Structure formats: C-alpha cells, structure tokens
Amino acid sequence: MAVVAKIAPSMLSSDFANLASEAERMLRFGADWLHMDIMALCPQPDNRSSSHREAYLDCHLMVTNPLDYVEPLAKAGASGFTFHVEVAKDYWQDLVHQIKVKGMRPGVALKPGTPVEEVEGENPVEMVLVMTVEPGFGGQKFMPETMDKVRALRKKYPSLDIEVDGGLGPSTIDMAASAGANCIVAGSSVFGAKEPANVISILRKSVRDAQQSS
C-alpha cells in the first residue's frame, strides 16, 4: 500500500503576528499538516484557536536537548516530534520511546551532510525528515543531491513516511516526489503565492502521480 501524500506548509514563513489565522487559512486551503520549526517551547494549547486545535502539528525540533522538550510539546498539543539525529546519536532510540509514551509520532531528521546510514537498520521511527537545505532559516535553494538519501530510504522502507523540507515548490516538487518523498514541507512557495491553495494542490498531485508511475 502506497504511503499517503501529506502537504505541510511551514509556519516559519507565515505572519507570526497572526499565527492562528495563518494556520486556519492553510487548513482551509487544503493543508494536511502544519509544520512547526521549534527553537523554543511551544505555547500551551489554550493559546491555539479552536479550528486548528485538532490539526496535525508536525514539529521539527532544531534544538540540542530534545529530551527536555518531550513533556512540554506533548502538553502543548504536538502531533509529531521530529528531532535531529546529529544531537541524539547516543540515546535516540530511548528518546523515540519517550515520544511514543506521550502519544506523539516520532521522527528523525537528517541535515544535508549527514549520511543516510545514521538512521538505517532497525528503525523505530515513523518518519524520516531529509533536509533539502541547511536547517535554520527559510528561502534557501533546494539541494538536488539530497534526493539520493530519499531514494535509499524509500527502497529500504516502502511504507515509511519520508519528509523533505527546504526549497520545495512547483519547480522542485517533481524531483522530490519521484525520489519517493511523500510528506512535503513548503514555506515561501506556499505563503508567498497569490493562490496558496493551487500550490498545495500542485504539490499533492506530483506526489500522487509519482506513486502511480512507480
């Protein structure tokens, strides 16, 4: 059974002064997930509007101490908890266990320079995030060479959610989709578009078309 296409607008590119309304707008335009780049603790659930309280919050932690964030993010309503393997090499399987205990889906992220072998083997996570730019800020150019990791992961784990983040948009989505990515994070290409709903639709169609042709 093919993995499902999931489009996750990156809230890093949204208007932070109107975060709740931006989240509602993305969901209305057809987003499956809301991608949150976490560099500090999330607000508590009562600060979230009712319309996106039930949304899937795809949290990508760019922190050096992800263990400290498990409890707070669970309380804040996070759905997915993706941490960087580079900062958790010695304890990441224990971290995955704690994430699951708190009811969140565990994921692991790889920076462009991190080899895919870091997460191969007996893999306890439910998603691997392949960074297609260097993490930390938006607007960077997509790095096609990172698609080798996506292809390797898809070949080994046919049913795994594989996410890509960085420089994704209508001009680059086909490369990611054909490599096997099914979870697509898109920031400026969605939030900067005149018709964000159309961009979300294009991204989803590319993933589905690639799956049908594979």
Q: Hey, which residues are catalytic here?
A: 37, 165
- Cα–Cα distance measured from residue 194 to residue 107, given in angstroms and rounded to the nearest whole number: 32
Residue 10, SS3 per DSSP: strand
- Cα–Cα distance measured from residue 214 to residue 209, given in angstroms and rounded to the nearest whole number: 9
Identify the bridge partners of residue 9 per DSSP, sorted by sequence position. 186
56 to 27, 60, 141: CA distances (angstroms)? 10, 13, 27
How many residues comprise the chain?
A: 214
Sign of CA dihedral 57, 63, 64, 68: negative
Q: Which residues contact 46 (CB under 8 A, 6 or more apart)?
A: none
- Cα–Cα distance measured from residue 11 to residue 26, given in angstroms and rounded to the nearest whole number: 9
**214, 193 contact by CB (below 8 A):** no
- Cα–Cα distance measured from residue 83 to residue 62, given in angstroms and rounded to the nearest whole number: 7
